[in-house]
Amino acid sequence: MSDLLTSNTPEWSVSELSGALKRMIEGEFGHVRIKGEISGYRGPHSSGHVYFSIKDSNAKIDAVIWKGVFGRVKFRPEDGMEVIATGKITTFAGKSSYQIVVETLEPAGVGALLAQLEERRQRLAAEGLFSDARKQLLPFLPNVIGVITSSTGAVIRDILHRLADRFPRHVLVWPVRVQGETSAAEIANAIDGFNALAEGGVIPRPDLLIVARGGGSLEDLWSFNEEIVVRAAADSMIPLIAAVGHETDWTLIDYAADRRAPTPTGAAEMAVPVRVDLVATTADLGRRLHLAERHLMDRRIADLRSATRALPSLDALVAIPRQRLDLAASKLGRGLERNAARHRALLTEAARRLVRLSPQARVAALRARLDGLGQRLISAQGASLRAEKQRLDRQKQSVTDLAARSTRALGVLLERRRARLRAASQLLASVSYQGVLDRGYALVLDAKGTPLRSSSSVRSTDALTLLFADGDVKVHAD
């Protein structure tokens, strides 16, 4: 019976079963909206898709956001964030699992956004982006002001109107979106673009930047909380005023900016002074400067008159120097006498030294020394001559002996050389061709005088020479 039931059960391939489950789940559920906590979020994959899970206290479901959809998400998902995801339930046959393909993702209430905002604020503050040491002073009267805001709306009109009322300046407007998925990148690019302008270029480089937007909800102002905008504001080399929302609205760009304005109109008031007040202040300062100069001149004249009255007379000024001169004159005679006596003593001592060092004294001393050396030389010469005569006699006898020995040795050497020469002459005569010629033979020479050794080397009509012992004969070969 068991075998029969088994044989009647239809067979499914794995792919067929997965496809059937996929159709059933997608047909049953379609689009759903779920609430839970993000888990396992690691950011976009290299493909641009995002994979994570959504869980609650009892269950967990895999989730995927395709690359094109993730670019429209208005906030940055993070692990532990409570969200509401809307999408389509489907299965993934490769893992035998089901998942939700997220089409929209939003935080679960304002509390989640505030928690994310606080975490981001603390992280960027820890990096020093909000430090007061990074803040720059605003220029007192900028020549060019760059405004980054929407080209439409009341914000730009309020800023321009307020600037015109206070102190008209050259304004450059960089229009951007202040809300939406691309607004954060546009705002950051505008800040970087103004900073990239060259000094003295075709487009003037602003001396001051204003980033402005009208009021709105937390979600509406979220672009100014994005990290890319905050970092661009912190890195700006041009002083920057943040004027986002109303006075009660705070965004992260307010912490990174050099100054925060409660409203866009307030930013315009911070940017430039009131021209009328400035003119009045300048006139008042000029008047005060003129009065101060007059008061200073009057005081200096009074001081000069007082100093003139306090100056002593000419006789009083020269009395003390004259008294010092009289005292010096009374001491001059005695001082000259003492000085002359001291120099006289020095001269006498120098004369005694000169007598000892005079040429006559030195010549006498040298003559006495020379006489002593002459006596010593005469006595030394006598002994030296006797010793030298004995040494010469010995050398003369030695030379005589050597001459006799050399004469005998030379005779022996010459006799040996004569014997060797006679033997060599006899050997040369025995091997010389002249001996052969003396026996009646002749030597045949060619025209160049070279001996011929065979008849094959002789050609007809060659000029030959026959050399005999008593002479030679010229012949021709036939």
**CATH number of 45's domain:** 2.40.50.140
Confidence of residue 363 (pLDDT cuts 50, 70, 90): confident
> Poorest-confidence range of 43-52, 200-209, 356-365?
356-365
For residue 92, tell me if it sits in a domain. Answer: yes
Question: Residue 26 sits in which domain range?
Answer: 10-108
pLDDT at 223: 85
- Choose one of 273, 295, 313: the last residue of a domain: 273
Asked which of 108, 124, 159 is the last residue of a domain, the reply is: 108
| Strands annotated E in 27-67 | 31-39, 50-55, 60-65
- Whether 426 is covered by a domain: the verdict is no
Dihedral angle of Cα 21, 26, 28, 31, to the nearest 10 degrees? 160
- Minimum mean pLDDT among 6-15, 127-136, 407-416, 447-456: which range? 6-15
pLDDT of 6 above 60: no
| Mean pLDDT computed over 275-279 | 85
Q: State the residue for tokens 């040996």.
A: 416
Q: What is the DSSP letter of 10?
A: P
Q: Are residues 166 and 86 in the same domain?
A: no
Inter-helix orientation angle 227-235/110-126, to 10°: 30
The CA-based diameter of the chain, rounded to the nearest angstrom, is 165
The answer on 242 and 152 residing in a single domain is: yes
For the stretch 389-444, pLDDT in tens is 788 878 878 878 887 888 888 888 888 888 888 888 878 777 777 777 777 778 78
DSSP string, 197-232: SPTTSSSPPPSEEEEEE----TTTTGGGGSHHHHHH
Is there a domain that residue 113 lies in? no
304 domain-assigned: no
Average pLDDT over all residues of the chain? 82
Confidence of residue 94 (pLDDT cuts 50, 70, 90): low
How many domains does the chain divide into? 3
Residue 374's SS3 state is helix
Q: What is the dihedral of CA 13, 17, 18, 23, to 10 degrees?
A: 140
3-state DSSP assignment of residue 151: coil
**Does 83 lie in the same domain as 146?**
no
CA distance 49 to 37: 19
Find where tokens 């759903």 sit.
Answer: 32
Is 237 within a domain?
A: yes
Q: Verify that 83 and 164 share a domain, yes or no.
A: no
> Are 145 and 269 in the same domain?
yes
Q: How far apart are CA 173 and CA 159, in angstroms?
A: 11
Decide which of 183 and 218 is more confident: 183
Half-sphere exposure in the Cβ direction for 72 (13 Å, CA): 8
Residue 90 lies in a domain: yes
Distance CA 381, CA 375 (A): 10
Backbone angles phi, psi at 241, to 5 degrees: -110, 130
Q: At what angle do helices 227-235 and 183-196 cross, to 10 degrees?
A: 10
Whether the per-residue pLDDT at 318 is higher than 80: the answer is no
User: What percent of the chain shows pLDDT beyond 70?
Assistant: 92
> Averaged over 298-324, what is the pLDDT?
80
Asked if residue 259 and residue 206 are part of one domain, the reply reads yes
Closest CA to 31 of 82, 84, 101, 92: 101
Instruction: Name the pLDDT band for 136 (thresholds 50, 70, 90).
Output: very high
- Spell out the residues 6+ positions from residue 77 whose beta carbon is closer than 8 angstroms to its own: 38, 41, 50, 52, 83, 105
Nearest to 101 by CA among 86, 112, 80: 86
What distance in Å separates the CA atoms of residue 474 and residue 477, rounded to the nearest whole number?
Answer: 10
* HEC string for 133-187: HHCCCCCCCCCEEEEEECCCCHHHHHHHHHHHHHCCCEEEEEECCCCCCCHHHHH
pLDDT of residue 268: 92
376: in domain: no
Q: Which of 205, 190, 202 is nearest to 143 (CA)?
A: 205
Does the pTM exceed 0.75? no
Domain stops at, among 108, 129, 156: 108
Q: Which residue is it, tokens 């003492």?
A: 338
Task: Let me know if residue 449 belongs to a domain.
Answer: yes
Same domain, 145 and 223: yes
On whether both 150 and 60 belong to a single domain, the answer is no
Same structural domain, 169 and 93? no
The pLDDT, as a whole number, for residue 415 is: 86
Question: pLDDT digit string (tens) for 149-186?
Answer: 998 878 999 999 999 999 999 999 999 998 877 889 99
Same domain (yes/no): 102, 21: yes
pLDDT > 70? residue 321? yes
Q: Do 21 and 100 belong to one domain?
A: yes
Same domain for 160 and 269: yes
CATH number, domain with residue 264: 3.40.50.261
